[in-house]
Amino acid sequence: MVFKKYFENDYWIKNPPAHDLLNKVSCLKYYFQTYADYYDFDWKLIAALAYQESRFNNHKRSSAGALGIMQIKLSTAKDRHVNLPNIKDLETNIHAGVKYLAFIRDRYFSDPHLAREEQENLTLAAYNAGPAKVRKLQRKAEKMGLDPYKWLYNVEVAARQIVGTETVNYVTSIQKMRIFLDASKRFDNSKRQVLEKTLVKNP
């Protein structure tokens, strides 16, 4: 079911601009890795989230006032749980976004019943729709006889009924891009290993 969910549409594989942008702007990858490591996330998940939010455009501003690469609001950045208000600065913007994501995870989705994958999916959904709404979706899923601790084919079913497809598509798109970035990393490592073997044989 998970394979079908992420691979039934291969448009995203044929159009992978996020990987190219990461290679062109090397500091992005460094910042994603630095703050992902600090707050215990996979950096590819953070990169995929940032791409989904802004296509890596730090000058983007939403109609709701969200700023920069990870589209965080100034009110959120000023909140005592984040306290990084200078979000026009590229590095600070990324730091604030990851710190807020970690706050959502640790405050709302730290239940021991949650597997890490499900914790990530629910946290991503809350970054998009808000933590209170996602907790409401969990309760709705439970009333529907679904597992409130699983996103795919469970809480996302409730999400479609209550908030529509935006949040469902949001989580799916991020996980697809994360898979692509992970596959690209393995491919790059394979190419490097082949090159190293070639150099050894033909110095």
Would you list the domain boundaries of the chain?
24-108, 116-187
DSSP 25-88: SHHHHHHHHHHHHHTT--HHHHHHHHHHHHTT-TT-B-TT-EETTTTEEHHHHHSTTT----TT
pLDDT at site 180 = 86
Sequential pLDDT tens for the chain (203 residues)? 444 444 444 444 445 556 566 766 678 999 999 999 999 999 999 999 999 999 999 999 999 999 999 999 999 999 999 999 999 999 999 999 999 999 999 999 999 889 999 999 999 999 999 999 999 999 999 999 999 999 999 999 999 999 999 999 999 999 999 988 888 765 455 444 543 444 445 44
Of the candidates 131, 115, 133, 111, the one whose C-alpha atom is nearest the C-alpha of residue 123 is 131
CATH class label, 24-108: mainly alpha
Instruction: From the candidates 53, 118, 120, 156, give the one annotated as an active-site residue.
Output: 53
CA pair distance 103, 31, nearest whole angstrom: 18
196 is catalytic: no
Write down how long the chain is: 203
CA pair distance 20, 123, nearest whole angstrom: 27
Asked if 192 contacts 199 with a C-beta cutoff of 8 angstroms, the reply is no
Does this model's pTM top 0.95? My answer is no
